[in-house]
Amino acid sequence: MSVAQEHFATKIIGGRLHGLARGWGQGIGPRAVLACPPGELHELGLLSFGLALWERGWRIVYLGADTPLDGIAARLDDLPPAIVVLAAVMPQRFLDSADELTALAAQVRVGLGGAGVSVSLASRLGAECLDGDLVDEAAALAP
């Protein structure tokens, strides 16, 4: 598959997932804030994880790809989450924001997911490792 084909498929699938996510911030369940750290553009797994959480009663605040972590920290009072979940396909995305991630994890429960996370990396940053199957991880977090 060429890069152009991959981008096309990602846009089609992402559009469908966003369509399924309408209204996922409403309700009375616990709130999860979902984002990709700075530089991370791959969000299909995070969108899918959000849908799996929503199916289990969570309210979702989706901030999307390439999200500055200081922006999340600044909104914690406005959107008090039960958890902030960040996803990346490469460990370097988490490492590039290590100071901000550690500070965020000192304020709120943080889970790290995607191919870029490991137990040791999450532990080093003060976060939880969500490196299993996204449906299983969502079920483990369910209220």
C-alpha to C-alpha distance for 67 and 86, rounded to whole angstroms: 9
Which residue segments constitute the domains of the chain, with CATH numbers given?
A: 3-141 (3.40.50.280)
pLDDT grade, residue 20 (50/70/90)?
confident
Segment 63-81 shows an average pLDDT of: 90
CB 104 within 8 A of CB 75: no
| pLDDT of 61 above 80 | yes
92-123: per-residue pLDDT in tens? 999 999 999 999 999 999 999 999 999 999 99
Give the pLDDT confidence score for residue 100 in this predicted structure.
Answer: 96
